[in-house]
Amino acid sequence: MATDDGNLEIELGRKLSDLTGRIQALEKPLQIGEKERRLEDLDQMAQDPDFWSDQDRASAVQQERSHLVKTITAFRDVSNGLSDSTEFVQMAEGDTDTLAMVQSELETYQAAIEKMEFQRMFTGEQDGNNAILELSVGQGGVDAADFTEMLLRMYVRYGEKNGFDVELIDKQHADEAGLKSATLMVKGPYAYGNLKSETGVHRLVRISPFDSNARRHTSFSAVFVIPEVDDSIEIDIKKDDLRIDTMRAGGAGGQHVNKTESAVRFTHIPTGIVVTCAQERSQLKNRNLAMKLLKAKLYEHEMRQKLAEKDKNEAQKLEASFGSQIRNYVQAPYRLVKDLRSGHESSAVDAVLDGDLQPFVEAYLYHLEAEQNENE
């Protein structure tokens, strides 16, 4: 056996040991056993002759099943692959081609493990859910409205690049340019777990395209992200507590999406929570979407109240995080995007605004995990 091959075999043995330990350590936090049992339950449900009589429920079951299979398969593929690689190395006897094949496979397994280790941080009860993302214009006039529209595009592009389905629920145009507000539904595994990092105030500094004197302007936009609640969470909405208004769905320049009153606004009288949905041509579809939004907001409202009752200090921290500035996007006099919580930054401002947000998402979650570990 050549010395180089011997060194490679030792190196691969060490790497196999490390990766095997890491994948074994993930089985419990990823709840692989629980997911496999849940998958069996879902498969049993699907065998019911009346399974497809409720299309919404059947679709939700199928979607949950798909998410479970994806996680379980990824874990088992890596676990079994590492076991096979260990046997290959033991039988290689210095065969260069075999060792090179194992080396290449270990790089793939390492990338998959790193992805699962990141997923391990999604420990919140609602982290696996779809996300509802709301944007609203802040201070800065027309520049702030334009910035709000830039952020909307950024999140749509982020969703597209990361395999999420993005659905525009509502969009309110500003008078001159840009948006007053917008609401997105981002669908996919751990959409909320990823996007919860975006809640807070975002700040843009640039030479204003709306200033004839080309002066530098600062503008703000607020982002609020909540999880879509599933059917397992009961949200009681009394008929007398809900006011429903219908209206025509307006577009830019006063043009209407259609001539019927398809847009709806739900007002929950006891809490004052208001949701609007105007994107669908069907009023029924807009009503269904608006109800999803309202249930999610009421759930979030209830959780914040419970937290306030349980721990006033933690509740105050939560309120502060919702209202505090989290990220700067500077285009002049220099170019830099910086997250003020994690410290992560990038000079590729255009790329970030085009949806390359994942490094910021991951940096925030690692920062959050480190903070939690310090407080334990």
The CATH code of the domain that includes 203 is 3.30.70.1660
**Residue at a domain's end among 87, 119, 151:** 119
Task: Report the C-alpha gap between 73 and 12 in whole angstroms.
Answer: 24
Residue 232, pLDDT above cutoff 70: no
Task: Report the C-alpha gap between 77 and 79 in whole angstroms.
Answer: 6
Residue 235, pLDDT above cutoff 80: no
Does residue 89 lie within any of the structural domains? yes
Question: DSSP character for 250?
Answer: B
CA 50 remoteness from chain centre:
33
- The sheet with strand 263-268 has its strands ordered as 242-247, 263-268, 273-277
Q: How many Å is the maximal CA-CA distance in the chain?
A: 82
Domain co-membership, 51 together with 170: no
- Beta bridge mates, 339: 327
Q: At what angle do helices 96-119 and 3-26 cross, to 10 degrees?
A: 20
Cβ–Cβ under 8 Å, residues 344 and 363: yes
Domain co-membership, 184 together with 330: yes
- Beta bridge mates, 276: 265
Cβ–Cβ under 8 Å, residues 138 and 131: no
Task: Report the C-alpha gap between 317 and 214 in whole angstroms.
Answer: 39
Output the CA–CA distances (angstroms, integers) from residue 214 to 165, 220, 320, in the order listed. 38, 19, 34
Does residue 314 lie within any of the structural domains? no
pLDDT per position as a tens digit, 6-60: 688 889 999 999 999 999 999 988 889 999 999 999 999 999 888 888 887 888 7
pLDDT computed for residue 312 by the predictor: 60
Number of H helices, E strands in the chain: 10, 11
Helix, coil or strand: residue 214: coil
What contacts 224, CB < 8 A, 6 or more positions away?
A: 133, 134, 136, 199, 322
What contacts 201, CB < 8 A, 6 or more positions away?
A: 138, 220, 221, 222, 223, 323, 324, 325, 326
Domain co-membership, 302 together with 332: no
Task: Report the C-alpha gap between 276 and 289 in whole angstroms.
Answer: 9
pLDDT per position as a tens digit, 53-108: 888 788 878 878 888 898 899 999 999 999 999 999 888 777 888 899 999 999 99
Number of domains the chain is built from: 3
pLDDT computed for residue 307 by the predictor: 62
What number is the average pLDDT over the span 113-140? 87
Residue 359, pLDDT above cutoff 70: yes
CA 140 remoteness from chain centre:
27
Task: Report the C-alpha gap between 228 and 191 in whole angstroms.
Answer: 10
* Total residues belonging to the chain: 376
Does residue 143 lie within any of the structural domains? yes
pLDDT computed for residue 252 by the predictor: 47
What number is the average pLDDT over the span 149-154? 97
Domain housing 175: 131-227+324-375
What contacts 255, CB < 8 A, 6 or more positions away?
A: none
Domain co-membership, 348 together with 216: yes
Question: DSSP character for 177?
Answer: S
Cα angle: 172, vertex 177, 183; to 5 degrees: 25
Residue 322, pLDDT above cutoff 60: no
Q: In the structure, what pLDDT confidence band is assigned to residue 370 with cuts at 50, 70 and 90?
A: confident
pLDDT computed for residue 6 by the predictor: 67
Structure tokens at 51: 């399974």
What number is the average pLDDT over the span 159-187? 91
pLDDT per position as a tens digit, 290-310: 888 888 888 777 777 766 665
For the domain that residue 70 is a member of, what is the CATH number? 1.20.58.410
**Whole-model pTM above 0.85?**
no
What phi, psi does 205 have (nearest 5°)?
Answer: -125, 125
pLDDT computed for residue 4 by the predictor: 59
Does residue 186 lie within any of the structural domains? yes
Domain co-membership, 355 together with 254: no
Cβ–Cβ under 8 Å, residues 182 and 170: yes
pLDDT per position as a tens digit, 241-288: 889 888 766 554 444 445 556 788 888 888 888 888 876 677 777 888
Domain co-membership, 143 together with 204: yes
Domain co-membership, 194 together with 86: no
pLDDT per position as a tens digit, 152-170: 999 999 999 998 999 898 8
Domain co-membership, 244 together with 179: no
Structure tokens at 241: 């507590």
pLDDT computed for residue 229 by the predictor: 81
SS (H, E, C) 71-121: HHHHHHHHHHHHHHHHHHHHHHCCCHHHHHHHHHHHHHHHHHHHHHHHHCC
Does residue 254 lie within any of the structural domains? yes
CA 203 remoteness from chain centre:
21
Domain co-membership, 216 together with 331: yes
